[in-house]
Amino acid sequence: MEVVAKANHVTVMDHEMKSRREHFVPDPMRIPRTIMEQWNPQIADSLPDAFCGGWVGFFSYDTVRYVETKKLPFSKAPHDDRNLPDIHLGLYSDVIVFDHVEKKTHVIHWVRTDCYRSVDEAYEDGRNRLEALLSRLHCLNVPTLSSGSIKLNVENFGPVMQKSTMSSEEYKNIVVQAKEHILAGDIFQVVLSQRFERRTFADPFEIYRALRIVNPSPYMAYLQARGCILVASSPEILTRVQKRTIINRPLAGTIRRGKTKAEDKTLEQLLLSDEKQCAEHIMLVDLGRNDVGKVSKPGSVKVEKLMNIERYSHVMHISSTVTGELRDDLTCWDALRAALPVGTVSGAPKSSHFREKKGLQTGTRR
């Protein structure tokens, strides 16, 4: 099943039932939520502590317009020159989980019992589908590659032909304007953006594999979506709900890695003593506490970790962890809405409306 939304137009495609429905709704984020309310997944103890089935896809930056409908109507959104969906989700019942620590593969199939006349019929069909999936895996002709090996032909990248959504001078002018607004007290922090493009003939999946080696991160994605292929590598989550605990992990404040342990430690101290970097991080911790507090039980919001250092292949970041206990009347979908947009790409206060009103954003963020 797929859910694709562009502004208030939503298309729901059930590939198994071969059906397609289109809707115009005020809040497309409620569509996948409503669909999931019909499911009641039973989590077996033998399942790995990982994603085992459900929605996979993306919510674009403009998804915040479903939350801030009065301040940020789609009718006043910047021009979208690529016409990509605002939401694209796929509901997956077949999942293969690779456990790189235990060297195991978990093959999982979800069964919707409401589609069968009896539990026994559902179980039997589920077993048959799982066996069919296993057979497909055993029949794969997988090329043998040594650990850390990729086949990325840089000649396929083609000519540079790099372009941006604005010139260097335009961007500098926007930075000057942003500084003036900060001095005037309109905002504390703003995250400006521009999009860079480069034409390439390289296989997107090989680019993803290269990222896994060059920039390994906890959250990596290769997603074949409608209108684009998304390749991503990030150390940061927007929000997570795990056993009714909301987790928000702001990462802000960055410096390069050292060539030696001693240099690495020196750079860490330099980062933690940088007034600008630390001020930026504390602002985002406050934003995280506010976001988590919107949907948490009173008194449950805590800063579990404050200004720790996380090291990655090329850089280190300042990291904090904010948690809260989700209210009994709310779900993970409410936690997601409360977190939009993530502070590390919006600023403090969350200033999407301010950026557009003051002309600090010239195009749609994608």
What is the per-residue pLDDT for 43?
72
pLDDT digits (tens, 9 = 90+) for 118-175: 989 989 999 999 999 999 988 888 777 666 666 666 666 666 667 888 888 999 998 9
What is the bridge-based pairing of β-strands 302-311 and 251-256?
unpaired
What does the block give as tokens for 62?
């403009």
What is the per-residue pLDDT for 328?
97
What is the per-residue pLDDT for 315?
94
Across the chain, mean pLDDT equals: 88
User: What is 192-345's CATH number?
Assistant: 3.60.120.10
Per-residue pLDDT, averaged over 55-82, amounts to: 87
Closest residue by Cα to residue 9 from 20, 24, 31, 21: 24
Q: Is the pLDDT of residue 354 over 90?
A: no
pLDDT digits (tens, 9 = 90+) for 87-105: 999 999 899 998 888 888 8
Domain extent listing, the chain = 2-138, 192-345
What does the block give as tokens for 10?
């939503």
Q: Is the pLDDT of residue 314 over 70?
A: yes
What is the per-residue pLDDT for 152?
65
Q: Is the pLDDT of residue 362 over 70?
A: no
Residue pair 325/299 in contact by the 8 Å Cβ criterion: no
Distance in angstroms (rounded) separating the CA atoms of residues 336 and 347:
18
Q: How confident is the model at residue 344 (pLDDT cuts 50, 70, 90)?
A: confident
- Where is pLDDT greater, at 160 or 192? 192
For the chain, give the secondary structure using H, E and C.
CEEEEECCEEEEEECCCCEEEEEECCCCCHHHHHHHHCCCCCCCCCCCCCCCCEEEEEECHHHHHHHCCCCCCHHHCCCCCCCCCCEEEEEECEEEEEECCCCEEEEEECCCHHHCCCHHHHHHHHHHHHHHHHHHHHCCCCCCCCCCCCCCCHHHHCCCCCEECCCHHHHHHHHHHHHHHHHCCCCCEECCCCCEECCCCCCHHHHHHHHHHHCCCCEEEEEEECCEEEEEEECCCCCEEECCEEEECCEEEEEECCCCHHHHHHHHHHHHCCHHHHHHHHHHHHHHHHHHHHCECCCCCEEEEEEEEEECCCEEEEEEEEEEEECCCCCHHHHHHHHCCCHHHCEECCCHHHHHHCCCCCCCCC
Distance in angstroms (rounded) separating the CA atoms of residues 362 and 77:
10
For the chain, the first-to-last Cα distance in angstroms comes to 24
What is the per-residue pLDDT for 153?
67
